Structure 1
Amino acid sequence: MRTLFLLISLAFCSVVTPSFAQVATEEPTVVNDIQIDVKGVALTTKGDTATVELYLISYTRGGRELNLNSFASGIVDSKGQPYLYDSMRIGKVLVQASDRQNYTHYLLEEDVPVKLVMKTGGWKKQWGMPQQFKLVFEDSGEQGKFLEVIIDL
């Protein structure tokens, strides 16, 4: 009887006890001492405008200038096709595609998150949710060299 009780209690404990499996945590994307975090991805209710929100955080002591190639950066659809933005806001700076401004210069302060919001109009529902974001900016160590970073959303 005592053995039966032990077997039942052991079986009950193994069923009720939660398992402590390892949960995979995604490492932040860090390129050229800039951490890039995805805040959100959204489509309008009509599905005609895609919006991607990122946070950029500089690890460079004393801050650094971010020289963003705005025409090379964009939202990427489910088929891998990049699309030009209609509007891009980094911090308090708003750039419209109609401004024809190829480069956007922004001073990133050390360890201060800066919000980057890019909106692309003319999005079609059949493209689905944006899958990636292509960010192109100048390397802080070599002037004239641009880094292309693909961020999975």
Structure 2
Amino acid sequence: MKLSSRLYLLILCMAPVLAAAQSGNAVTGPTDSATVVVDSVQFDVVDFRIDSATHTATVEITLTNLKANPRELKINVYGTQLVDDQQNAYYFSTMALGQVRMRFTDRQNYLHYVLQPRTAVPLTVTAERIAPDAKRIAVTKVVFEDRSEVGRFLDVYLAN
């Protein structure tokens, strides 16, 4: 593995810790990035998979609002990406958060959802035209708006 690839992977692994530190939140849960807490939202990896027959990747994550009050979550859908083990990045083709569904062809910049307190909501991101040599999705990046500062977006990196 080249030095640049190792550095890239190190940065991706450290990103959840750095994002939590910048937002004033602690990263809780295991030391791996299967569970990450940023801005009082807990992100838990459920499944990352690639269907080699259709060259489609699907990522399933649950989001939980850790605050006592409901919270509007604004996801930047074009900032949200899947990265395979060959370091190819993919935009979503479809994205669903709870009952809210969006397609890339809808050309909407944001997905809005009200997270209820302590209620896990599934986020499913699907990407098409995955490279034939990709074996797995290594990292998923989710970009969402900071609760306390409108217009400031936070990145969450979830590793498989």
- With normalisation by structure 2, the TM-score equals 0.76
Give 2:30's aligned residue.
26
Contact 1:134 1:148 in 2 (8 A): yes
Give 1:46's aligned residue.
53
Structure 1's unaligned 5+ residue stretches are 1-24
Distance 1:145 1:81 in 2: 26
Contact 1:82 1:134 in 2 (8 A): no
Q: Which of 128, 144, 147 does residue 121 from structure 1 map onto?
A: 128
Contact 1:71 1:84 in 2 (8 A): yes
Runs of 4+ in 1 over 4 A off after TM superposition: none
Give 1:68's aligned residue.
75
Contact 1:54 1:115 in 2 (8 A): yes
Give 2:95's aligned residue.
88
Give 1:139's aligned residue.
146
Distance 1:82 1:63 in 2: 32
Q: Give the count of matched residue pairs.
A: 129
Structure 2's unaligned 5+ residue stretches are 1-28
Q: Which structure would you say has the larger Rg?
A: 1
Residues 27-55 of structure 1, C-alpha deviations (whole Å, 9 max, x = no match) = 53100000000011112241500000000
Letter in 1 for 2:90: Y
Give 1:97's aligned residue.
104
- With normalisation by structure 1, the TM-score equals 0.80
Contact 1:39 1:53 in 2 (8 A): yes
Contact 1:57 1:113 in 2 (8 A): yes
Distance 2:83 2:37 in 1: 20
